[in-house]
Amino acid sequence: MSDAKRFTLTDADGRPHEYEVTPHPPSEGMEIMWRLVAFGAEPLGGAVKGLLAMGDMGSIAKLLDDPKGLQKLGKAVDFAALGRDVKASVQSTPMSDLTKAIVAKTTRDGQPLANALHFDRAYVCNYGELLAALWRVATINRFLSLPGM
């Protein structure tokens, strides 16, 4: 029985493409996991700091039902600082290398995305599909799972 997972995504021109993901072995996957944790640590930390200043998680959850909840959230979380933190993370991380590492065990329409020619053909003028594929592959590999989940 194969551990491979399959999904379909639509490209920028509306054509469907079949993906097959073989989960990364831990010897490779843990490196990706730690790179993703490092990538998001500062932006996430800033957002959490603002949320915690609002009170307990129950009061934060109630904001979703409050018509003025987003305004209150906007006062608690410094979205400009969050944006700067995300920008700094993107600029300080070799995103091309990280992207290729994430899809290294993935095929698209039977073609290995680890092959630069297939990767380039798949995503020319097609960055939306690339972002969707990265999210799905990261989810399948559970790179961003909480402990015990």
pLDDT given at position 121: 97
pLDDT of residue 135 exceeding 90: yes
How confident is the prediction for the chain on average, in pLDDT?
A: 85
Residue among 72, 71, 83 nearest 47 (CA): 83
Domain carrying residue 41 = 27-94
Asked whether residue 13 falls in the same domain as residue 33, the answer is no
Asked whether residue 18 falls in the same domain as residue 33, the answer is no
3 state DSSP class of 56: coil
Residue 100 resides in a domain: no
Domain count, the chain: 2
Q: What is the model's pTM?
A: 0.75
Residue 149 resides in a domain: no
pLDDT given at position 1: 42
Asked whether residue 89 falls in the same domain as residue 39, the answer is yes
The DSSP-derived string for 62-120 is HGGGSTTHHHHHHHHS-HHHHHHHHHHHHHHS-HHHHHHHHTTTEEETTEETTSHHHHH
Residue 138 resides in a domain: yes
Asked whether residue 35 falls in the same domain as residue 81, the answer is yes
For residues 28 and 65, the model is more confident at: 28
Asked whether residue 70 falls in the same domain as residue 126, the answer is no
